[in-house]
Chains A and B, each alone.
Chain A
Amino acid sequence: MTRVVEGKNIVRDYHVGGGLFTGPRTVHAVKDVSFNVDKGKTLAIVGESGSGKSTLARIITLIDPATAGELFIDGKKVDIAKSGLSKEMRRKVQIVFQNPYGSLNPRQKIGDVLGEPLLINTDKPAAERRDLAMKMLKKVGLGHEHYNRYPHMFSGGQRQRIAIARALMVNPSLLVLDEPVSALDLSVQAQVLNLLADLQDEFQLTYVFISHDLSVVRYIADDVMVMYLGEAVEYGSRDEVFADPKHSYTRTLFAATPRADVASIKARLAKKKAA
């Protein structure tokens, strides 16, 4: 099994410059986090807002450099702070953001949205870019007729399909998904999760899936990492983490997740009657 991404003791500090009355200080966004994901697997990172999960996503996507620690992509050490980012590396890692309304340029037609990663990262001619974009539209469940439309003509779920299609245009080996279904309705969420599972099978994709929704994580993940205040407080296979959470924060998180099964409704109603 090949290892697609590996992080060793990743640290990310942000220095906040002082204002008129306050001195500068350092925010430790990610503290000493290690992880690895094998080809074709999904690592889910769970945490609340401010837990550092999106910062970690930015580091893995090679948008932000880590302050300390080592990051390996396909076995090769990458340090964008020192050596910059090669086109080859950009091709290997792609990201899908949370809000499909904010992540597409409203003035760009879908065809251009999909062609742009190829234009920037490869030297394919225009006709080939167009062909590949058409094929990708089909793969994510859209049609050729959508090629010349603008983002505002699509629903949230369709836009998220477009964002996924754009990320896949350059055949990445690793796809970072930063809360890809949080902004979507339940029924659309199910469609997008199915699409992600199909694409993973077809292209042997590796996912890093950021989420705060435990039921989604339980459905999609192979490994789970729980982050709290910048630290990875729990890391293990999905079944381990869900069956026997070790850290008290993980247990709090599980207890807080609303349960929609008949047994827990019965228990709640019985408790209410007694009160």
Chain B
Amino acid sequence: MSLLEIKNLTVSFDTAAGPFMAVQGIDLSIEPREVLAIVGESGSGKSVSMLAVMGLLPNTATVKADRMAFDGIDLLKLSPSERRKIVGKDISMIFQEPIASLNPCFTAGFQIEEVLRFHMGMDRAQRRARAIELMKLVGIADPELRLGSFPHQMSGGQCQRIMIAIAIACNPKLLIADEPTTALDVTIQKQILDLLVSLQAKYGMGLIMITHNMGVVAETADRVIVQYKGRKMEEADVLSLFQSPKSNYTRALLSALPENAVGDRLPTVSDMLFEPAPSGASA
């Protein structure tokens, strides 16, 4: 059974100019222990579809799907309070801006322990021990000391490690990482990606990487979904995507990488993509 199964997901936002379709009929599934990358440029709906799974979209959004099931549970039929028991425990998510996604008013330790209290019902001593264990796991030196640190006292890389610690605190079955390294330096990016992949392998989580960086896809994913303007353009395993991309859009994206430049001009997406019709894509 798939860990997460989504059929024909549509998300629209009510705007002054009428409904805006951010996601148009996306099918997606991820198996346990799999790393799935969703690639696309800004506005491709890659984050919105995952926020819909988490139930984190604002009231102006309308989510429709034929099926949206996590581990056999139909997410569409859950009440908000039932869903809160799953979100943050069995499915968790980390975001792009690590410093902005932590609460500046509370210490790192408090924010890790908050999840443990809410979802696991641990007592104070257990929480503290688990928080220290988690901080060691994500590679933070001096965890006892760092429990008392506020987000502004740590670097971006350390904050992202804290975010990961919070996300994996309850041993989730599925971890969604939304551009986890975009705000970080390349050397730190490498460390965070290595950490995510090693944790994924160690605990057998499903991992969904949302990114716009083809390099990150190449370094982490098993399977890749390419999205453009809310539609799925292509789905393939990572090797065949890079070796023989099927849709025009993927081909255009790959050739726009500066390292693939031929001569002194870069081909741009508009050079190749005359008609962004989803019919050209292989589902």
Interface residues of chain A, those whose CB is within 8 Å of chain B, are 48-49, 156, 185-191, 193-194, 197, 212-216, 218-220, 252-253, 255-262, 264-266, 268-269, 272, 275
Contacts and interface: CB of A to CB of B under 8 A. Distances in A.
Given A265-B242, A266-B239, A186 B215 contact: no
Nearest to B219: A258
Interface of B: 41-42, 185-190, 193, 201, 212-219, 238-239, 242-243, 252-254, 256-259, 261, 264-270
16 contacts: A186-B253, A188-B41, A193-B258, A212-B186, A215-B215, A219-B261, A257-B186, A258-B189, A258-B215, A258-B216, A259-B218, A260-B242, A260-B254, A260-B259, A265-B239, A268-B219
A139 B196 CA distance: 45
Nearest to A197: B264
B215 A259 contact: yes
B257 A215 contact: yes
A109 to B, nearest CB: 23
A184 B252 CA distance: 16
Nearest to B221: A265
Given A193-B258, A257-B186, A185 B42 contact: yes
Interface of A is mostly: helix
Counting chain B CB atoms within 10 Å of each CB, the highest count among A186, A191, A219, A272 belongs to: A186
B238 A265 contact: yes
Contacts of B257: 186, 215, 260
Given A48-B185, A218-B258, A194 B219 contact: no
Given A48-B186, A194-B265, A219 B258 contact: yes
A265 B269 CA distance: 23
A212 B268 contact: no
A260 B253 CA distance: 12
A268 B238 CA distance: 11
Contacts of B189: 256, 258
B243 to A, nearest CB: 5
Given A219-B266, A257-B186, A261-B242, A186 B219 contact: no
A156 B219 CA distance: 28
A187 B256 contact: yes
A215 B190 contact: no
Contacts of B256: 186-187, 189-190
